[in-house]
């Protein structure tokens, strides 16, 4: 029974790990030239979109005017809140000079890989996502340039959903090199939430995945992007508990991978309700991504759905000391997810899949699976993404009613401290009818 994707051990062979893992921009070998090299009005700094070009040409304008990576990320480090965080942590440098902060709130490649015109004050610039430009800045505008060729020359493959997820998560959750620990949160850092498809849409995007984009870069399927984002987020989180160095902090495990609100709420507000896999007085693993993967596994590997659920249950039991081996479950989930990602790469989601996923999310929610805020928040973003696709494909009956119902749903997850599972469930049931059930 317990063989989540054991049958797809071949899937491990399917995903060639090396090709899957191009160096992240901060790890790459080339020289980072600086935003100024991309910003000319004849390059990516045009005021308006160019009609005859493959790309919009106004990416710099979008980035510098409305993208928080340019406007806020670095500036935030000189503010009052960051001063307090740095002081609470006892950092020797101010936040805007401390590697632990600038690695995520800026673009911080090693000194020897910075060109003459590279400026740290540019914030999270083009090369923080697209990779050091030295290798491709000339060739990517030469006649006959192709996307494959640019990537071979060191352009980071942002169009590939697996590479994209690794890139965004490296800062929006953290990885082996940089990570917002509970120690940093305890010093005053805000909780981080992330969902790849939603955040790609709200960045806001400076690209349009139209027919021309797809001809150059392959198909953009937002549901696939969502699904791959969930799998990689779960893997990053499981990596933390599996790593003896990152997974512990003194006597306690690293607390960031658990449900924040299991600990953070007033004692007078008694919330305990029986739930499978846990017990009163236990902290709970933050299973938000795993709850989303439950739907993804069901839609993509129906034969493995039961064993996936079983492993998640074993993880919860182990965390609560109720008789499962949490680390063993984490290891097997981690490995099985490699197979899921390999298969998702080529997966096309049709209207029926989308409706099944949306309905599964709604049904699980109504059945009470999203008792913790983090799961509810992910479910709300997922339902919205999936319904948005259905609407764009013309497969959703009443779009206006759907938008109103989604607004009511988001209202219930607006503030994590005021989250009430009953209200979330009620709002979800309002969506059920719209999905034709």
Radius of gyration for the chain, computed over Cα atoms and rounded to the nearest angstrom: 22
Number of Cβ atoms within 10 Å of the Cβ of 212:
12
User: Is 46 near ligand HEC (CB under 6 A)?
Assistant: no
Nearer to ligand HEC, 8 or 57 (CB): 57
Q: How far is the CB of 396 from ligand HEC (least distance, A)?
A: 24
Q: How far is the CB of 215 from ligand HEC (least distance, A)?
A: 10
Q: How far apart are CA 315 and CA 277, in angstroms?
A: 8
User: Is 381 near ligand HEC (CB under 6 A)?
Assistant: no
Single out the residue of 4, 5, 11, 130 in contact with ligand HEC (rule: CB under 6 A).
130
Single out the residue of 5, 73, 291, 406 in contact with ligand HEC (rule: CB under 6 A).
73
Nearer to ligand HEC, 41 or 54 (CB): 54
Contacts to ligand HEC from residues 278-307, by CB under 6 A: 283
Per-residue x/- marks for ligand HEC, 2-41, CB under 6 A? Answer: ---------------------------------x--x---
Nearer to ligand HEC, 288 or 427 (CB): 288
Angle, CA of 192, 156 and 51, to the nearest 5°: 100
User: Is 59 near ligand HEC (CB under 6 A)?
Assistant: yes
**C-beta of residue 128 within 8 angstroms of C-beta of residue 28:** no
Number of Cβ atoms within 10 Å of the Cβ of 263:
11
User: Is 163 near ligand HEC (CB under 6 A)?
Assistant: no
Single out the residue of 105, 114, 166, 332 in contact with ligand HEC (rule: CB under 6 A).
105
**C-beta of residue 200 within 8 angstroms of C-beta of residue 209:** no
Number of Cβ atoms within 10 Å of the Cβ of 375:
23
Q: How far is the CB of 194 from ligand HEC (least distance, A)?
A: 7
User: Is 145 near ligand HEC (CB under 6 A)?
Assistant: no
Contacts with ligand HEC by CB under 6 A: the residue count is 70
Single out the residue of 184, 356, 395, 399 in contact with ligand HEC (rule: CB under 6 A).
184
Cα–Cα distance list, 62 to 43, 195, 196, 412 (Å) = 13, 21, 19, 31
Q: What are phi and psi of 280, to 5 degrees?
A: -65, 145
Contacts of 267 (CB under 8 A, 6+ apart): none
Q: Which residues of 102-116 are buried (b: 16+ CB within 10 A; e: fewer)?
A: bbbbbbbbeeebbbe
User: Is 139 near ligand HEC (CB under 6 A)?
Assistant: no
Nearer to ligand HEC, 62 or 429 (CB): 62
User: Is 234 near ligand HEC (CB under 6 A)?
Assistant: no
Q: How far apart are CA 108 and CA 101, in angstroms?
A: 10
Angle, CA of 339, 28 and 73, to the nearest 5°: 90
Nearer to ligand HEC, 126 or 413 (CB): 126
Number of Cβ atoms within 10 Å of the Cβ of 352:
10
Q: Which residue has the tokens 């990053």?
A: 236
Single out the residue of 32, 114, 182, 355 in contact with ligand HEC (rule: CB under 6 A).
182
Q: How far apart are CA 250 and CA 181, in angstroms?
A: 13
Secondary structure (3-state) at 185: helix
Q: How far is the CB of 61 from ligand HEC (least distance, A)?
A: 8
User: Is 393 near ligand HEC (CB under 6 A)?
Assistant: no
Q: 285: which strand partners?
A: 258
Contacts to ligand HEC from residues 190-209, by CB under 6 A: 190-193, 199-200, 202-203, 206-207
Q: At what angle do helices 399-411 and 373-392 cross, to 10 degrees?
A: 170
Contact residues for ligand HEC, defined by CB under 6 A? 35, 38, 44, 54-55, 59-60, 63, 68-69, 72-73, 76-77, 81-82, 85-86, 89, 95, 98, 100-101, 103-105, 124-126, 128-130, 158-159, 164, 167-168, 170-172, 174, 178-180, 182, 184-186, 188-193, 199-200, 202-203, 206-207, 213, 217, 255-256, 258, 260, 262-264, 283
């Amino acid at each position: 029974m317990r063989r989540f994707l054991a049958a797809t051990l071949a899937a491990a062979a399917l995903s060639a790990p090396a090709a899957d893992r191009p160096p992240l921009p901060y790890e790459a070998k080339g020289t980072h030239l600086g935003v100024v090299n991309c910003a000319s009005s004849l390059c990516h700094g045009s005021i308006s979109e160019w009609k005859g070009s493959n790309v919009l040409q106004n990416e710099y304008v979008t980035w510098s005017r409305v993208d928080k990576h340019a406007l806020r990320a670095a500036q935030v480090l000189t503010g009052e809140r960051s001063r307090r965080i740095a002081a609470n942590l006892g950092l020797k440098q101010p936040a805007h000079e401390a590697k632990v902060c600038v690695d995520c709130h800026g673009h911080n490649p090693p000194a020897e890989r910075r060109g003459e015109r590279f400026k740290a004050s540019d914030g999270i610039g083009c090369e923080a996502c697209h990779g050091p430009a030295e290798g491709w800045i000339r060739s990517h505008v030469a006649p006959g340039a192709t996307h494959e060729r640019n990537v071979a020359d060191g352009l980071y493959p942002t169009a590939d959903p697996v590479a994209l997820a690794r890139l965004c998560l490296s800062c929006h959750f953290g990885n082996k090199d940089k990570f917002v620990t509970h120690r940093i949160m305890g010093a005053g850092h805000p909780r981080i939430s992330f969902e790849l498809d939603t955040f790609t849409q709200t960045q806001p995007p400076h690209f349009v995945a139209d027919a021309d984009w797809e001809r150059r870069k392959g198909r953009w399927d937002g549901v696939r992007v969502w699904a791959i984002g969930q799998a990689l987020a779960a893997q990053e989180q499981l990596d933390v508990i599996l790593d003896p160095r990152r997974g512990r902090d003194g006597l306690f495990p690293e607390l960031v991978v658990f449900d924040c609100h299991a600990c953070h709420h007033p004692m007078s507000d008694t919330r305990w309700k029986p739930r499978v896999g846990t017990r009163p007085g236990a902290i709970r693993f933050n299973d938000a991504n795993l709850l989303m993967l439950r739907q993804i596994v069901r839609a993509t590997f129906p034969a493995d759905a039961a064993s996936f659920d079983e492993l998640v249950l074993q993880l919860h039991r182990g965390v609560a000391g109720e008789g499962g081996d949490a680390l063993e479950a984490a290891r097997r989930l981690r490995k099985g997810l490699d197979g899921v990602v390999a298969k998702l790469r080529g997966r096309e989601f049709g209207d029926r899949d989308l409706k099944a996923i949306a309905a599964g999310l709604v049904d699980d929610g109504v059945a009470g699976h999203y008792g913790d805020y983090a799961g509810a928040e992910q479910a709300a973003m997922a339902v919205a993404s999936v319904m948005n696709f259905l609407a764009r494909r013309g497969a959703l009956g009443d779009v206006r009613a759907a938008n109103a119902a989604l607004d009511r749903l988001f209202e219930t997850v607006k503030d994590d401290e005021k989250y009430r599972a009953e209200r979330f469930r009620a709002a979800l049931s309002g969506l059920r009818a719209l999905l034709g059930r």
